[in-house]
Amino acid sequence: MSIVSRNPSTGEIIKQFESYSDEFVDGLISNSYFSYKELKKFSINRRTKCMMAVANILNEESEKLGKILTQEMGKTHKSAIAEIKKSALGAEHYAVTAKDYMADEIIKTNALKSYRSYQPLGPILAVMPWNYPVWQVIRFAAPAIMAGNTVLLKHASNVTQCALYLEDIFKRAGFHDGVFQTLIISNSKVERVLRNENVRAATLTGSEIAGSSVAAICGQEIKPTVLELGGSDAFIVMPSADLEKSAAVGTIARTQNNGQSCIAAKRFIVHAEIYEAFKEKLIKNFNSLKIGDPMNSETDIGPLVNPSSLKEVLDQVKDALDCGAQLLCGCKAIEGPGCFLQPGIIEKIPMSARIYREEIFAPIAGLYKVKSIQEAIELANDSPFGLGSSVWTADLDEQKQAINDIEAGATFINAMTSSDPRLPFGGVKRSGYGRELAAEGLRAFCNIKTVSISE
Ligand code: NAP
């Protein structure tokens, strides 16, 4: 079966790849296992040197790799370069901090000496999405490899060139062949990989359906998993907020990456006192966005990833309007080749509309009016998801209430939700479980071994 990379700006096929055979995949898994044994013998300093080389190559080749990202999944070239440079920082972060994150922790007991030791698990399967095709991979692979694990990457089928490029970077950086390997397979072959006894754990970033399938198989196989799934993040704006700034940041938070980000602000929950003023600013900002060729440095928004994604979003919009919601701007497909959509805003969304509960993976904002912080938090929590949240208020009591009561993996006050290698990242509820980044991201795939030495 062939796996296809298609340019979402033009609809043209860029490249096709033959899927790896089962036998070839088995060989790669064995290679991963032997490489894990080898990597365990690498000193942490040697791993650091190689990971710094990964960071350097990412920086040096951000233009070239960025073009591949733009061609394969449609993000603007400037945002592709920013993603690759951020990935370089992520690799550098773990190159520098892994030693501390993995240091033995002495715990006083009755034994002569006892401590917590962090040891690798072995080969780990990473099932990754196309929306941040470099960052999502590096934020898992850098800590996992620094901890001594090896990586088998099953990347989304539309970004295979990017997956192979990453494999090549790890080799050129000095890691031996089996440390980071790409598996060119369809999603139906993931189960076979998970059931291989040499694969010790899995991580998946993607949709709920894919996450629950991988978790169910790993449950049967008693293998640990980390799941980073969808989100429908709230962006709450209260009367004391800086309206100009919150509307400007809110526009970026909703439309970055062509609106296809898990932690994008998807539901704008605005206090009645400032609702009309905020709405006006948001509409003005959305209407000024430039949509078009993602290679053009003037472009703010490129195409959605593929025609089925565009159709799904248009169906969600139609459903909301049929249920009684009101269109404020945009939300229409742009005629011509490619999967282009006008960014848009919808208000008065009833609970019966699909987008009241579903994630909308496109530059489309839902606006909701509330009368208090309490009501805003209740509405924010009335979602199956719990990934990020962003709250705009100068009132310290409101800030405290939001931090305590919003059911999400992160709450950002007077800033948009973002990921940072120094801070843990992940969700609750149907947004997944486990954490990436920071010390948690490295320890997620460690055997936390208890060591107790007596006389
Ligand atoms: P997706 O369809 O679930 O694909 C993600 C990955 O899972 C791809 O590699 C895909 O392979 C694979 N996959 C799909 N179905 C599978 C199955 N049944 N078993 C095993 N693997 C399977 O997700 P997407 O639509 O590409 O990505 C968008 C979603 O990811 C959104 O919901 C977004 O919010 C979420 N996301 C979450 C985070 C986070 O950190 N929480 C970050 C980014 C994105 P194929 O391509 O071959 O189908």
Residue 108 has pLDDT above 90, yes or no: yes
Question: Taking residues 19-37, what's their average pLDDT?
Answer: 98
80 domain residue, yes or no: yes
* pLDDT class of 1 with cuts at 50, 70, 90: low
The pLDDT tens digits for 162-220 are 999 999 999 999 999 999 999 999 999 999 999 999 999 999 999 999 999 999 999 99
The pLDDT tens digits for 66-94 are 999 999 999 999 999 999 999 999 999 99
Q: Taking the alpha carbons of 243, 247, 248, 252 in that order, is the dihedral positive or negative?
A: positive
pTM of the model: 0.97
Q: Are residues 153 and 174 in the same domain?
A: yes
Q: Is 191 a catalytic residue?
A: no
Rounded to whole angstroms, the Cα distance separating 166 from 137 reads 9
Q: What's the angle, vertex CA 28, arms to CA 44 and CA 192, rounded to 5?
A: 115
Q: What is the DSSP letter of 130?
A: S
The pLDDT tens digits for 407-427 are 999 999 999 999 999 999 999
Reading the block at residue 110, the tokens are 């009755």
Question: Taking residues 368-393, what's their average pLDDT?
Answer: 98
62 domain residue, yes or no: yes
Q: What's the angle, vertex CA 61, arms to CA 55 and CA 62, rounded to 5?
A: 85
- Structural domains of the chain, count: 2
Dihedral pair phi/psi, residue 428, rounded to 5°: -125, 180
Domain that includes residue 156, residue range: 2-229+431-453
Q: Find the CATH number of the domain harbouring 254.
A: 3.40.309.10
Residue 2 has pLDDT above 90, yes or no: no
The pLDDT tens digits for 310-320 are 999 999 999 99
Q: Are residues 219 and 255 in the same domain?
A: no
From the alpha carbon of 230, which atom of ligand 1 is closest? 34
For the chain, what percent of residues have pLDDT higher than 70? 100
SS3 of residue 344 by DSSP? strand
Query: Per the residue annotation, which of 262, 331, 339, 446 is the catalytic one?
Result: 262
Looking at 102-207, list the stretches that DSSP marks H as alpha helix, in order from N- to C-terminal side.
135-146, 160-172, 190-194
425 domain residue, yes or no: no
Q: Are residues 55 and 87 in the same domain?
A: yes
Residue 101 has pLDDT above 90, yes or no: yes
Q: Find the CATH number of the domain harbouring 55.
A: 3.40.605.10
Q: Are residues 78 and 192 in the same domain?
A: yes
Our answer on whether the CB atom of 426 is closer than 6 Å to any ligand 1 atom is no
Rounded to whole angstroms, the Cα distance separating 230 from 261 reads 9
Our answer on whether the CB atom of 190 is closer than 6 Å to any ligand 1 atom is yes
Of 358, 363, 361, nearest in space to 346 by CA: 363
